Amino acid sequence: MAWIESHQSLKDHPKTRRLARRLGISVPAAIGHLHCLWWWALEYAQDGSLAQYDADDIADAMMWDGDSQQLVQALVHAGFLDETGDGLRIHDWRDYAGRLIEQRERAAARKREMRQAYEDGVIDQVRARDGSICRYCGKTVNWKDRRGPDGGTYDHIDPNGPSTVDNLVVCCRSCHSRKGARTPQEAGMRLLPPGKHQVRSRSVPDPNQNGTGTNLPTVTVTQTGEENNPPPPLRGASPHGGDARPADRGATNPPDEQSGRVRRMIPHEAIKDAWNEICGAAGLPRVQVLSAKRRQYLTARCTELARYFGEQVYTVDWWRGVFHRVRGSPFCMGAGGRGWRATFDWLIERREAVVRLIEGHYDRVADAQTAFERTREQFQPGRTDEDFAGWRKRGGGST
Ligand SMILES: [Zn+2]
């Protein structure tokens, strides 16, 4: 979850007071609008540059109903925005989001490095040495298990060290998450010696050998029957995996080493198909294309919802249940009388829509109206949104 640093000095800072005076609002209101800007920027202006946005976008991001030009001028005057040759920038953005930016950069670098490690045959060498035995607990990992505790992954012994044969070991997910971004010593864990495997001399694997086991040396360890079943290597994998089938997607995602967690396999395509089958067939807009953005939203929602509902949110069945609730809700089906109907995007783009749906807020039309409005308030501003365009005109503008 993304977050910014919010200094207690903001409340009394002359800049904040200047902004409040300029806009004719209270200091707490100014603080609120500023936070909306910063939170929004975490997603939509990660480098702090607002060059691609106009005053209306900024006002929308800040949930500012007044004059957008006046707002931007006040922000510049107070020192929260800088006017540069390349357009507006958020002042001292790194101070607010520096840690997050660094974290993201580290995570991205680690992912690139791991992909390179697969391409360079480093991972093959690690597998040749460790087989399918977790180097921390000694149990046999299951390479087919893409998210359970017994599933296999690779651990950086020194979390800040390079992705080399010496620093990578086969590891079960259970040990991997227990260890986190710590050294074995820091985590109070012991690194077991590798099996009887020898590191292969050939460093570049044959790209035609696609994880069928033939590119691994003969294995002499007997604790496991998994040796003939290594995972497909990650060659040519892209972060969003194109249209790979769900079953393949887990295999093409390198583990998210930086955060110590493993990227979950989310059956994006199957979830989309279930929407079309359940809600599309009932008259709601069908999803034709699962764009990268939609995949990202779906991933974000799954990750979030897993905290409340557990691992089941990564299954199509769980989403089918959600879609049946959509279909069972008169409000979602358009009975609200304002011409609004639920869409796939509405459901996945907002943090609270699914939760409120499950809690039954949309079961009765009257309740649904309130829930809808609350969801709208939490909707991250600054994006084009057809769902809410009509709503803003009618409800939001109270016409
Ligand atoms: Zn283990």
Question: Per the structure block, which two tokens stand in for 194?
Answer: 């590798």
Ligand 1 geometric centre to CA of 178 (Å): 9
Report the C-alpha gap between 287 and 272 in whole angstroms.
Answer: 7
Ligand 1 geometric centre to CA of 257 (Å): 15
Q: How many residues does the chain have?
A: 399
Ligand 1 geometric centre to CA of 332 (Å): 45
pLDDT for position 378? 54
Mean pLDDT of 342-352: 87
Report the C-alpha gap between 375 and 346 in whole angstroms.
Answer: 10
pLDDT for position 375? 64
Does residue 106 surpass a pLDDT of 50? yes
pLDDT tens digits, 1-16:
577 778 888 999 999 9
Contact 58, 50 (CB under 8 A): yes
For the chain, domain boundaries: 9-91, 100-240, 268-396
Q: What is the mean pLDDT of the chain?
A: 77
Ligand 1 geometric centre to CA of 152 (Å): 9
Report the C-alpha gap between 230 and 251 in whole angstroms.
Answer: 11
pLDDT for position 55? 94
Ligand 1 geometric centre to CA of 149 (Å): 8
pLDDT tens digits, 111-154:
899 999 988 899 999 999 999 999 999 999 999 988 889 999 99
Ligand 1 geometric centre to CA of 317 (Å): 29
Ligand 1 geometric centre to CA of 100 (Å): 30
pLDDT for position 360? 82
Ligand 1 geometric centre to CA of 151 (Å): 9
Q: Which residue has the higher pLDDT, 181 or 169?
A: 169
pLDDT for position 233? 33
Ligand 1 geometric centre to CA of 305 (Å): 26
Contact 347, 354 (CB under 8 A): yes
Which residues are CB-neighbours of 296 under 8 A, at least 6 positions away?
A: none
Q: Which residue has the higher pLDDT, 69 or 302?
A: 69
Ligand 1 geometric centre to CA of 78 (Å): 54
pLDDT tens digits, 87-100:
999 998 887 787 77
Ligand 1 geometric centre to CA of 173 (Å): 7
Ligand 1 geometric centre to CA of 193 (Å): 13
Q: Which residue has the higher pLDDT, 374 or 361?
A: 361
Ligand 1 geometric centre to CA of 214 (Å): 26
pLDDT for position 34? 94
Question: Per the structure block, which two tokens stand in for 75?
Answer: 């922000």
What distance lies between CA 1 and its chain's CA centroid?
8
Ligand 1 geometric centre to CA of 172 (Å): 4
Report the C-alpha gap between 27 and 176 in whole angstroms.
Answer: 46
Question: Per the structure block, which two tokens stand in for 18?
Answer: 């200047």
Mean pLDDT of 345-354: 86
Ligand 1 geometric centre to CA of 248 (Å): 24
Ligand 1 geometric centre to CA of 217 (Å): 23
Mean pLDDT of 355-377: 75
pLDDT for position 374? 67
Contact 187, 276 (CB under 8 A): no
Ligand 1 geometric centre to CA of 142 (Å): 11
How much of the chain, in percent, has pLDDT values that exceed 70? 75
pLDDT for position 311? 80
The SS3 call for residue 172 is strand
pLDDT band at 314 (very low <50, low <70, confident <90, very high): confident
Ligand 1 geometric centre to CA of 125 (Å): 19
pLDDT for position 381? 43
Mean pLDDT of 357-372: 78
pLDDT tens digits, 172-230:
999 999 998 899 999 999 999 986 443 443 333 333 444 333 333 333 333 333 333 33
